[in-house]
Amino acid sequence: MPTGNRASLVNAPARQQLREVETAGRPQPSKPALPDKPLVVIEPSRSFIAVDLGELRAYRELLYFLMWRDVKVRYKQTTLGAAWVALQPLLTMVVFSLVFGRLAGLRSDGIPYPLFAYAGLLPWTFFSGAVNKSGNSLIGNANLITKVYFPRILIPAAAVGAGLLDFAIAFLVLVLLMLYYGVAPTWGLVLLPALVVLVALLALGVGLLTSALNVKYRDVGNALPFMIQLWMFASPVIYPASMLPEEWRWLLKLNPLTGIIEGFRFALFGHRGLDWAALAISTVVTLTLLTYAAYNFRRMEKSFADVV
């Protein structure tokens, strides 16, 4: 072995000690200190207005991203893709038409029963799907909630917004059914956008309320599908509201979905005239529920990251 290499090996420990001595007196780079106070504090709202609209506007791009993510996850690795959206109300309509239309003989106010049932299933399927997904949305996004701050209300809102794409696809099937049965739309079709907004707000209100409660009480997530199933039979989805006796019809109108579903049938087929009283009750109940749910969600939002 050359002498120079042997000397370098022998002197290696000495050089290491020399470097340690030289650097001992130098100031070492320190790690950045954590702030004394939190940068963002989530506090319950103290005002009547429970939602910070300016904050929601600042995070609007995140809302679009969460909606698009929900859509992609839903149809990822599926053979039929978006066709599942149309198959669910369509197959349900076929079953209801056989059981309730032919066997039970339920009347449909002069409309072919398949059309009658599908027009009720269209808003109902959107509502039930949006409530189920938004009610469990905070639990499903626990890793996101505990790592970064953003308005938590965006998560259930994105679940409801993503369902609007499913509604649009299912609506195309209704158009084909109307062409098949030779039923032409009426002037009431101009009310359809307002009814879609109303059922979306109702789904958002129920979704905000159940999602916030589901974080603290996991029983809500287990009971939610059962309660939604009962809600369907308490709504005029498979039967017309006129089938109930007049003295009990007011009780059905307290259900906010009654005015919405009956409004859908009027907007599409123009049958029996629009029940303005039922629609007014649906609007008042929806806005009241949405306001309370948003305020309650904001009040409970502070503890989401700790409990979820």
pLDDT tens digits, one per residue of 161-188? 989 988 998 999 999 999 998 888 888 8
pLDDT value for 63: 86
156 falls within a domain: yes
Handedness of CA 48, 49, 50, 55 (dihedral sign): negative
How many whole angstroms separate alpha carbon 188 and alpha carbon 269?
Answer: 8
Encoding tokens for residue 238?
A: 């498979």
47 falls within a domain: no
pLDDT value for 261: 94
81 falls within a domain: yes
Q: How confident is the model at residue 49 (pLDDT cuts 50, 70, 90)?
A: low
147 falls within a domain: yes
pLDDT value for 7: 44
Q: Where do we find the tokens 């207005």?
A: 49
Residue 43 phi/psi, 5-degree rounding, is: -120, 150
Domain assignment of residue 113, given as a range: 58-294
pTM for the model: 0.80
123 falls within a domain: yes
252 falls within a domain: yes
Please state the rounded mean pLDDT for residues 136-142. Answer: 86
pLDDT value for 79: 63
pLDDT value for 248: 83
Give yes or no for residue 247 having a pLDDT over 70. yes
208 falls within a domain: yes
pLDDT value for 110: 80
Highest mean pLDDT among 31-35, 39-43, 232-236: 232-236
- Total of domains in the chain: 1
39 falls within a domain: no
Distance (Å) of CA 255 to CA 73, 225, 230: 33, 18, 12
